Structure 1
């Protein structure tokens, strides 16, 4: 089935139909219609797969796809025309220009965390560039994958755009095919597999990976605003966002206050009990749920303040931790363990629980969790968290934060909350990341005019808008020189003294 689909895509591309600007515009218009006419279907599918709130699906996925399709459609004529460049005077008379031509048949492998956005936004860019496209949705979001497989053939050219469902086996078969470009969004481990498979065919790849995206905060900013923006960026989609702040580096004079303000922001966003909020999501599957439980601290309990609700900490704990069974919901047999405060001399390196820690295995719920005083060697600092756990590390100053960031693999994003121009410039000039945000989070995802991509372990290549169009295009150089006058006769062999002087002059 997959080889036949690939062959059909090759035939469609070879026919030349995808190169037509009219075809590209028609497909992009159809993509927007699909989003508009099936908005509720996508909301329902993502709620089933991820427990994702409707507003998040619309604002962070469907609206962005529609905006991208509209943006690239409106710029197609300008991007596809010849772009003339001056030629050296020694070659005159001559002309040179570049044109963007499609790469051919391309493969898009989408992840589960934003299963519609990260399948259809690169699809819009690939169509705009004139390619035939195979989209492989994530099997970890099965309802969304099924919906894409049903809708895409109804709206787009079935011979030039196809959806292949399945798991690792099907992905492996796809990677054995000689695609002309592979676009992968996901984790570093699978990214290496994709790149290895692509090397067999010398296929170019775009890898949109992730990493531990840092966030620095000092005493010059409004901590209330900073806390809200950090909380929004971190806990949207239950923390399952590749550019979410993974951890915070805060100076000692603001770390405690910032942690408490983030806890307040969580209550503002999701109420006293986020589990009952219609605006808060769930963890995608049991494997990721258990992985996140192991990152929570052992032997910690939230601080108790007058008027504040009791915050329960739940996780699998070590033998030293005291176990207290508590029913999560009435009528359920599932129990959660409550971590108790231990002596400060044995404080868990993950830090002190400021808020959150509540879990529900049956619904894969983990409350927005803030940890204060996390140590660099804590398990929560050894991998990308990709969940609603926010460690806060205390650093001496911006220089210490920069040294810490530079000692680790380059992240997909970095965020700086400081009003000092010198601090901002220091992060801009001395750190390397896929993107950098001052006093806001996630914004680099929202503009079609800004390229989005990683560097090093966080990925390679970029997309969105023109960057996406060029990712799926080959920018071909063309040169032309009239046959008369044939000025090249001045440098043809055999050489003589006059020609040698002329070459030296040139």
Structure 2
């Protein structure tokens, strides 16, 4: 799409937004059912697109791209009528007679900017809630996953008329021009750096935003959990999509005397899940772009030069955009791997002596989108949760909070603003409008000027006793 066409596209969506906002639950549900049907119908094309963009295995596409969308659709269909119903509220005595309610109305015309790492999931799940809330929508998929972007551009017109939902393909300049339009809401998924730019652009129009970002999500291992088991589980989690997941475990905290056992468990987990040479495994993901590969390799080169220990399951291969699962320990705290979100299959391992040390390590950085714990000690886990701040906490597994349709998903501060999924996603795309209705008789006039002596006494009595 050309830059000159964007204003026309925006105007068409904006013009149709009032009509979309007046649609009933049955009409919105029909659109969502059509989207689910189309997604299943075109599932082989989705497989091919993800293979082309990320070497994504077909089962991984089904589990991590298709399933979250269909689960969100099913959950929304079951609950949408209740979500759309006005929410009745009681009255304090000073407001009787009357009635009060909250009406959840569509925001209007919204923009969803999605990333390349889960390009179907992170585009269509927000779309489910935007449509359920009665908005018109522009979708901007990432140019770094071109095959999937083309797939979405083909899929969406089979479900939605162009005045309801449009897909906009293009690079950075198109994205910037889109974000500069006066949207009623922007839903962005990506890095904290770009998220801050999106927020700054939205501020020019006082546009509300949802930012699903990322950051350094730790996994803290309890001493009695079993370091070898912990290492093996983290190996699987770090290998998913070659570590290119905003909620991937970014680094591990293990008690100092258990570090070596954890490292051996990680290595065993790599062999179990991905083989001795993941580079030859057709189902192991690839790094999305050469510049991302170069960044990862530069960070590993930096820590090697600092004297840190590095283990890699096999050799990196830039021409194939393959980067191996990598362990790093004894890394300095001021290196890039320690300070920046990694977004790749590299796991720095740090140690603690007392639990308070692990908590201090987490609290010394930015607030993560998720904090993982491996522990069977409920008191210990609850203590860490209470002493830290994160978008979510997952205990004894990875990623599964994202799959729960009624848990709010999102970060906090630098890892995100706003929440999605379930009623939280619906409300993110709506305006909670207060409606107070007075009865036929209005006692308010008893308190209106001029203030006679008896009115003054009445007001004093009200302010003291009511």
Q: TM-score, normalization: structure 2?
A: 0.95
User: Residue deviations 1:130-158, cap 9 Å, x none?
Assistant: 00000000000000001111111112222
Name whichever structure is richer in helix by fraction: 2
Q: CA RMSD in A?
A: 1.6
Q: Unpaired runs of 5+ in structure 1?
A: 301-317, 319-347
Contact 2:254–2:351 (CA under 8 A) maintained in structure 1? yes
Equivalent residue number for residue 62 of structure 1: 66
| TM alignment of 1:202-351, pairs within 5 A | 202-297=206-301, 348-349=306-307, 351=308
| 1:455 and 2:412 are equivalent in the alignment | yes
Offset at 1:14?
Answer: 2.8
77, 85, 97: which one aligns with 2:81: 77
Which one of 472, 475, 496 corresponds to residue 452 of structure 2? Answer: 496
Q: Which residue of 2 aligns with 1:444?
A: 401
Q: Within 1, Cα distance between the matches of 2:246 and 2:365?
A: 17
1:253 Cα deviation from its structure 2 partner = 2.0
Q: C-alpha displacement at 1:298, in angstroms?
A: 6.2
**387 and 144 in structure 1: CA distance in 2 versus 1, 3 angstrom threshold:** same
Identify which of 364, 381, 386 aligns with 2:343. 386
Gaps of 5+ in 2: none
After the TM superposition, which segments of 4 or more aligned residues of structure 1 sit over 6 Å from their partners? Answer: none
Select which of 9, 21, 39 maps to 1:5: 9
Identify the match of residue 416 of structure 1 among 367, 373, 381. Answer: 373
Find out whether 1:362 has 2:319 as its counterpart: yes
Q: Do 1:296 and 1:357's aligned partners in 2 also have CA atoms closer than 8 Å?
A: no
Per-residue Cα deviation, 1:407-465 (whole angstroms, up to 9, x for no partner): 11111111112233342122211111111111211112111110101111111001011
CA distance in 1, matches of 2:303, 2:380: 36
Specify the alignment match of 1:167 in structure 2. Answer: 171
| Equivalent residue number for residue 23 of structure 1 | 27
Native 8 Å contact 1:453 1:463 kept in 2: yes
Structure 2 counterpart of 1:90, from 83, 86, 94: 94
How far, CA to CA, are the matches of 1:149 and 1:220 in structure 2?
Answer: 50
Separation (CA, whole Å) in 2 of partners of 1:497 and 1:357: 89
* Counterpart pick for 1:118 among 119, 122, 126: 122
User: CA offsets, 1:283-315, max 9 Å, x none?
Assistant: 001000010001215696xxxxxxxxxxxxxxx
Q: CA deviation at 1:225?
A: 3.7
Deviation by residue 1:70-119 (Cα, 9 ceiling, x = unmatched): 11121110000011111111221121111110000000000010111111
Contact 1:53/1:279, CA 8 A, preserved across alignment: yes
After superposition, what is the alpha-carbon deviation per residue over 1:198-232, rounded to whole angstroms, capped at 9, x for unaligned?
A: 01111001111111111111311133442333222
Give the 3-state SS of the residue equivalent to 1:360 in structure 2: coil
